[in-house]
Amino acid sequence: MQADATEKRMRELMLAALDGDAAAYRRLLAELTRYLRPWFAKRLSPSHASHAEDLVQETLLALHTKRSTYDRSRPFTAWLHAVAHHKFVDHVRRHAIRPTVHLDDDAPIFAFDDSAHAADRRDVDAVLTEVPERTADLIRQTRIEGASIAEAAARHGISETAAKVSIHRGLKSLMNRFAGGSK
């Protein structure tokens, strides 16, 4: 289960942080930010989207000042979820905001993370194993990482035309394989 792996990693970071490990603490806070931002954003209407960042900060601050209330024998993600939920309810009440998701809807925080869609990235990697390695690299660099064809070609020491042909063939074969043929 991915959630269990998240819990295990986060809890280890939290326990290290409670023992005074500042590096682990920094990593924990940075990782939590990635989960909290989309979680709050989903719960606010678009006109209040700017509040998500405030809520992330309020939650990190609460984690900091209230960290002694974390019982080390219990799941960390559940504790953090309760803190974030409390901050959200409090914020919504104080600002008289109409939330887009019902207050009692307790969708788990750790279901989504906005680190460039990790799951999508895994899918792309899996698909790209179907074409030759150099072609896969070229496609990744030009179509995902945003490099120009000239840059990608230079990196592999081939001409721009050869790179274009290679990318085109690669994409065509992937279309045939996964999309039932290109149109």
Site for other proteins, rule CB under 8 A? 17-20, 22-23, 25-26, 29-30, 33, 53, 56-57, 60-62, 64-72, 74, 78-79, 81-83, 86, 90
Q: How far apart are CA 96 and CA 62, in angstroms?
A: 21
Q: In angstroms, what is the minimal distance from the CB of 7 to other proteins? A: 13
Q: Which is nearer to other proteins, 93 or 121 (CB)?
A: 93
Minimum CB separation of residue 34 from other proteins in Å reads: 10
Separation between Cα atoms, residue 95 and residue 48, nearest integer Å: 10
Q: State how far the Cα of 24 lies from the Cα of 27, in Å rounded to an integer.
A: 5
| Minimum distance of other proteins from residue 53's CB (angstroms) | 6
Instruction: Output 33 or 173, the one with its CB closest to other proteins.
Output: 33
Nearer to other proteins, 73 or 129 (CB): 73
- The amino acid at residue 158 is I
Angle value at C-alpha 95, between 93 and 97, nearest 5 degrees: 75
36 vs 174, which CB is nearer to other proteins? 36
The half-sphere exposure of 55 on its side-chain side, counting CA atoms within 13 A, is 31
Query: In angstroms, what is the minimal distance from the CB of 57 to other proteins?
Result: 5
In three-state secondary structure terms, 89 is helix
Least distance (Å) from other proteins to the CB of residue 70? 8
Of residues 62 and 171, the one with the C-beta less far from other proteins: 62
Residue with tokens 């953090």: 80
Q: How many C-alpha atoms does 118 have within 13 Å on its Cβ side?
A: 8
